[in-house]
Amino acid sequence: MAQFIFKMKRLKSIVLLCCALLTAIACCMWAQTEAKPVPKLGASTLTVRVTGLRNANGKVLLSLVSDSKSIEKRAVEIDAKSLSAQAVFENLPHGIYSVYVFHDENLNGKMDSNEMGVPTEGYGASNNPERRMGPPDPEETKFTVDQPSTAIEITLIYW
């Protein structure tokens, strides 16, 4: 019995650590204000559609990232009918990007988690990496913007 309790405490610690890392990364990306210029090879429009919201409370916070630096952050209204949100980034230089999002249901500007560190608000990233403990590998979230118009869809994950 003692061995089972030890294993449960260890699992709880691992879950808490992984979720804390995911929360920290999302908050840091949202909090970054210094934008790194991307080489201008051409200009594009990027449309990001966020789906799978469980309700229309709050807003969806997006962070557009290039070279691990936040390029632009947005708070987007939720369409209550479709339970989705959309952001359009115009005059975007061609390059490689990632997008990270979370559903800020209570409008506190951060991704909330429970006492075990498990996110209580929806989150997601470009290329829709699978749900797992901890943040996705940045390589999984990268995509190329090299056309006049690019559109991606991110489906939120709720625990």
- Higher-confidence residue of 13 and 117: namely 117
| pLDDT for res 60 | 98
Paired tokens of 106: 């209570």
| pLDDT for res 75 | 98
| pLDDT for res 88 | 98
Paired tokens of 44: 């594009």
pLDDT above 90 covers what percent of the chain? 70
Under 8 Å between Cβ of 46 and 145: yes
| pLDDT for res 127 | 98
Burial class of 131 by CB neighbour count within 10 A (0 to 12, 13 to 18, 19+): exposed
pLDDT, average across residues 92-99: 97
DSSP per-residue codes, 118-147: -BSS-EEETT-PPP-SSPPPHHHH-EEE-S
Please write the tens of the pLDDT for every residue from 28-48. 555 554 454 544 557 999 999
Q: Nearest 5°: phi and psi at 9?
A: -65, -40
- No. of H helices and E strands in the chain? 2, 8
| pLDDT for res 134 | 85
pLDDT exceeds cutoff 90 at 62: yes
| pLDDT for res 7 | 52
| pLDDT for res 133 | 85
CA distance 20 to 108: 17
CATH number of 2-155: 2.60.40.10
Tell me the pLDDT band of 132, cut-offs 50, 70 and 90: confident
CA distance 19 to 67: 23
Least confidently predicted of 32-36, 75-79, 89-93, 118-122: 32-36
Please write the tens of the pLDDT for every residue from 133-143. 888 999 999 99
